[in-house]
Structure formats: C-alpha cells, structure tokens
Structure 1
Amino acid sequence: MNVRQLLVHKGGAVYRIHPEATVLEALKELARHNIGALLVMDGDRLLGIFSERDYARKLVLLGRFSKDTRVQEVMTENPIAVTPETDLEEAMRLMTEHRVRHLPVLEGGKVVGVVSIGDAVKAILMEKELLIQELSRYVSENR
C-alpha cells in the first residue's frame, strides 16, 4: 500500500494554521478536530508543522504562555514530507527514524494530505488482516 491509497481511504483533509496565529489558537484547532498536529502554512506554502510535542517541549518546558506565543516561534520547520507514491512502510520507517508522528504529503510541491503514524499502523493492520483472511480461505478450500 502506498500513501495515495491511504489518503483515498482516510480522506485528504488538511488542517492548517497561519504562522502568525497564537499557540492558543493552534491548541483550540487541535482540540476542535481531535488531531495531534497542524500544518503551518502561509497560503499554499508549507512552512512547518505544529504538534502537541512542540507545545509540550518548546512552550510549557520553557515557561512561555500560549496566548502570547506565535506558532512560528515553536513550530518544527522544514518537516519531513512524503509523496503520494511513497510506500506506507517507508513512511513508517521515516516517522520512526526521525521520531515524528505526522508527515505532510506533497505532490508537485503542493500539500495534498497528512499521514500520521496511527493512520499508517491502522492501514497496515487492515492489509495484514485481509491477507490472513485470504490465506485462511485458501487453506480451507484446498484441504
């Protein structure tokens, strides 16, 4: 399975925030959509990603206030991205290797989606379950 197939299945919703927004506004968006990260974008241009981890490590631990801090001050710049043709296992390897939970998906320089580690695990487990069912059916039919 590749990233495009996952996006077709899960949908290509992209939740974003402007770099000048406050961290408090970003936290409200995360809560409203029940997600763990927002793409930081200026128009169609991807600047970074803001995650719960950024909030915890770059704001709370530094004693800063979410209503007084701009997203651009604490976002992760130049996030690792994948293309729709990237194999899902490769996307998981990248997330594991770089210790990130979300990958923007870029096609022709444009953001077309986001893949999370949860999305990838769920898709791979579904794929493995289907394979097990097919193999079980094959074995029972060929006894």
Structure 2
Amino acid sequence: MTIAKEIMHPGAHWITKEDTLDHAARLMLELNVGALPVGDAKERLCGIITDRDIVVKCVAKGKNPAECKAGEIVEGTPRWIDANADVEDVLHEMESHRIRRLPVIENKRLVGMISEADLARHLPDDQLAEFAGHIYSPAPVRH
C-alpha cells in the first residue's frame, strides 16, 4: 500500500495569514513553487494561496501586493490529508474537491505537499489519466 508520505514533496513551506502577497510571491520564486499553504497564528491550516490567486485577486484588481495580506484572498475550506493515508484516499480527496495540490499533515503539522507532478511520478498511467479526467473535465452545472 502506497501512502501519502511516500509520494509527497517533503518539507513544504507555509506562510501566515498576515504575510503580504509580495512576500508570498518572492517565496514562491525562491522555492520554485506555484502555491503555498497559509496558516493562522496557531499554525492551523487556513488554505492555500497560488500564484494565480495573487494575480487575479490582487494585482488585476489594482491592489498593492506589498499591502494585501494572504488572509484577505485565501478562501474556502482547507483540504488536507494525513501522512499515512492511502494513495486512493489522496486521489479521492483531490478528485472530489477538484484540487491540484494537497497539504500533508502528520501529528497536526504540515510535513509536505502532494501536487500533480508528485502523482505523475508515482502513479501508473491509467490511474493518472483517470485523475486528470476528474480534475480537468468541466464542472457539473448546478441549477
């Protein structure tokens, strides 16, 4: 059985809700990543901020990334997976919520992230194709 901890990218960095978006962008550049988990003052996961979030929710709206805080643009219920969860649980979580990155938690601490690239390195082609079909197919229309 393959578990989350075996396929994750270890040592994920995170920022706080109070960190500015220019800090987040510089950290993303330094780490060569497109997303960072966001935590509160008690180091609880609040969500994930992406490079796209910074552009769309800050820069494109004329806000100053040096003044805008991560907590102002992070939205939704944070999704995560336990480090010992089976890869099938990882896939279910990512597919059912249509997310491309998933924080990995062990003993209430962030220990890594699972991205599409991690899945591509560890899953057989048929399983990866099924995952991509779920993530990239059009969202169901809600009435």
Which TM-score applies when normalising by structure 2? Answer: 0.73
Q: Structure 1: how far apart are the matches of 2:81 and 2:118?
A: 14
User: Conserved in 2, the CA contact under 8 Å of 1:47 and 1:78?
Assistant: yes
User: Conserved in 2, the CA contact under 8 Å of 1:19 and 1:72?
Assistant: yes
Of the structure 1 ranges 68-77 and 42-51, higher mean CA displacement relative to structure 2 is found in 42-51
Please name the residue that 1:20 is paired with.
18
Please name the residue that 1:65 is paired with.
64
- 1:82 lines up with 2:68 in the alignment: no
Kindly provide the CA deviation profile for residues 5-39 of structure 1, in whole angstroms up to 9, marking residues without a partner as x. 224xx4x2121112211101100000110001111
User: Conserved in 1, the CA contact under 8 Å of 2:47 and 2:79?
Assistant: no
Residue 43 of structure 1 and its aligned partner are, at CA, apart by 5.0
Residue 73 of structure 1 and its aligned partner are, at CA, apart by 0.4
Q: Structure 1: how far apart are the matches of 2:35 and 2:15?
A: 10
Please name the residue that 2:101 is paired with.
102
SS of residue paired to 1:76: coil
User: Conserved in 2, the CA contact under 8 Å of 1:54 and 1:76?
Assistant: no
**1:118–1:89 Cα change, 3 Å:** farther
CA RMSD between the two structures: 2.3
Please name the residue that 1:137 is paired with.
none
Please name the residue that 1:115 is paired with.
114
User: Conserved in 2, the CA contact under 8 Å of 1:95 and 1:117?
Assistant: no
- 1:2 lines up with 2:3 in the alignment: yes
| Identity rate, percent | 27
- Which residue identity is paired with 2:33? I
Q: Which has the higher helix share?
A: 1
Larger Rg: 1
**1:97–1:59 Cα change, 3 Å:** farther
User: Conserved in 2, the CA contact under 8 Å of 1:49 and 1:75?
Assistant: yes
Of the structure 1 ranges 30-39 and 104-113, higher mean CA displacement relative to structure 2 is found in 104-113
